[in-house]
Amino acid sequence: MTSPTGKRVLLAAPRGYCAGVDRAVIAVEKALEHYGAPVYVRKEIVHNKYVVESLSDKGAVFVNETDEVPEGARVVFSAHGVSPAVHEAAAERNLQTIDATCPLVTKVHKEAVRFAADDYDILLIGHEGHEEVEGTAGEAPDHVQIVNSPDDAVNVTVRDPEKVVWISQTTLSVDETMETVDRLRERFPTLQNPPSDDICYATQNRQVAVKKLAPECELVIVVGSANSSNSVRLVEVALNAGADASYRIDRAQEMDESWLDGVTTVGVTSGASVPEILVNDVLAYLAERGYGDVQEVRTATEDLMFSLPKELRADLKAAGNAPARPRRENRTSLSVEPV
């Protein structure tokens, strides 16, 4: 319903859970149901505090490295992927692994392996220290250099400027990545592109939706955790696209009343690892403050789903449990009007 004050929310769509996150979270839930607690998980299964806390409550035990997992126990690898060295370390301890690496991250790993086999210098655009980047770089440590930002392009040195390829982390800003590529190409004109987009469909779609609504918003709220790369990027995208202000919050309790001073239109979106319940809490908070008119700004429809990790599928099948299809999480419980 339109507010007499003109106050409204523009709700980005797509937002929230992507196919890779949905699959990884369900993998841990199914593993807990099927094998019983504890199920160990190396690193945060996805970068979201609420999800990690919820799974911990159900019996998941999050560890930093495989040497914290008891010999022979079951461990799930997170959606961000792991390097071959992690697989080897797990095998040495006879761990039973369930690999929940997102298939779109695995695709980038395979690119790194293939270009390394052809002896390319591989420029991996991504954030040093991010788990996904560590995993991808670990596929070909002798061939990969990490390029953190456009400014970092000047620091790159290669063996043969004619044999250089770039690949990237899946959750980067599309615009900033292309700026980095342009800078690299100034230095290496024959720089080869990856065979297909490495920045995944979910990251791109969420950025496109925010770009569309941000120019109309005095404030854009991004629900997502601080270590979620794609969530942090959404704040940057919102500001670059014209929002007067943008804040990332983990949950509605972190909203600050003063952010709403003089604000008529609030944009709301969420990162790819964020369950919709957290967005609904923010919408409820806003509705209580006069922003009950929620209009959806949809720029794409997503129907991609990935099947569960093969190790888990096989065990569920052997036990006569039909493997569950990952569910779609990006629904809202509030009625919204498309614009």
- Per CB under 6 A, the segment of 66-74, 99-107, 179-187, 313-321 that binds ligand SF4 is 99-107
Contact partners, residue 49, CB within 8 Å, separation at least 6 = 225, 250
Is 33 marked active-site? Answer: no
For residues 206 and 222, give the distance between their C-alpha atoms in angstroms, rounded to a whole number: 11
Nearer to ligand SF4, 18 or 222 (CB): 18
- Shortest approach of ligand SF4 to residue 106 CB, angstroms? 9
- Could you write out the DSSP letters of every residue in 145-213? EEE-SGGGGGG---S-TTSEEEEE-TTS-HHHHHHHHHHHHHH-TTPBPPSS--S-HHHHHHHHHHHHH
- Per CB under 6 A, the segment of 18-26, 119-127, 233-241, 249-257 that binds ligand SF4 is 18-26
Binds ligand SF4 by CB under 6 A, chosen from 18, 52, 181, 308: 18
Nearer to ligand SF4, 107 or 185 (CB): 107
The position carrying tokens 């990006």 is: 330
Sheet holding 60-63, edge to edge: 60-63, 39-42, 74-77, 96-99
For residues 197-226, which are near ligand SF4 according to CB under 6 A? 200, 202-203
**Measured on CA atoms in the order 156, 159, 161, 164, is the torsion positive or negative?**
negative
Binds ligand SF4 by CB under 6 A, chosen from 10, 272, 297, 316: 272
Binding characters for ligand SF4, 223-242, by CB under 6 A (x = yes): -------x------------
- Per CB under 6 A, the segment of 8-16, 195-203, 281-289, 292-300 that binds ligand SF4 is 195-203
Binds ligand SF4 by CB under 6 A, chosen from 52, 82, 86, 102: 102
Strands 337-338 and 294-298: parallel
- Rg of the chain over all Cα atoms, to the nearest angstrom: 21
> Which of 44, 131, 132, 296 is flagged as catalytic?
132
Nearer to ligand SF4, 48 or 170 (CB): 170
- Shortest approach of ligand SF4 to residue 262 CB, angstroms? 34
For residues 271 and 223, give the distance between their C-alpha atoms in angstroms, rounded to a whole number: 6
Is 127 within any annotated ligand binding site? no
- Shortest approach of ligand SF4 to residue 272 CB, angstroms? 4
Backbone angles phi, psi at 14, to 5 degrees: -75, 160
For residues 129-168, which are near ligand SF4 according to CB under 6 A? none
Is 109 within any annotated ligand binding site? no
**Cα angle: 283, vertex 327, 42; to 5 degrees:** 95
Backbone angles phi, psi at 125, to 5 degrees: -80, 120
Backbone angles phi, psi at 134, to 5 degrees: -60, -40
Binds ligand SF4 by CB under 6 A, chosen from 21, 69, 124, 312: 21
Is 200 within any annotated ligand binding site? yes
Binding characters for ligand SF4, 23-62, by CB under 6 A (x = yes): ----------------------------------------
Binds ligand SF4 by CB under 6 A, chosen from 76, 79, 144, 316: 79
For residues 270 and 12, give the distance between their C-alpha atoms in angstroms, rounded to a whole number: 8
Backbone angles phi, psi at 176, to 5 degrees: -65, -35
b/e 226-246 (16+ beta carbons within 10 angstroms → b): eebbbbbbbbbbbebbebeeb
Binds ligand SF4 by CB under 6 A, chosen from 48, 66, 136, 170: 170
In 3D space, the residue among 294, 288, 235, 302 whose CA is nearest the CA of residue 260 turns out to be 288
Does 105 sit near ligand SF4 (CB under 6 A)?
Answer: yes
Q: How far is CA 49 from CA 72, 131, 188, 292, 326, in A?
A: 28, 16, 41, 27, 20
Annotated binding site for dimethylallyl diphosphate: 47, 80, 130, 228-230, 273
**Catalytic machinery residues:** 132
Binding residues for ligand SF4 (CB under 6 A): 18-21, 79, 102, 104-105, 170-171, 200, 202-203, 230, 272
Which residues are documented as binding site for isopentenyl diphosphate? 47, 80, 130, 228-230, 273
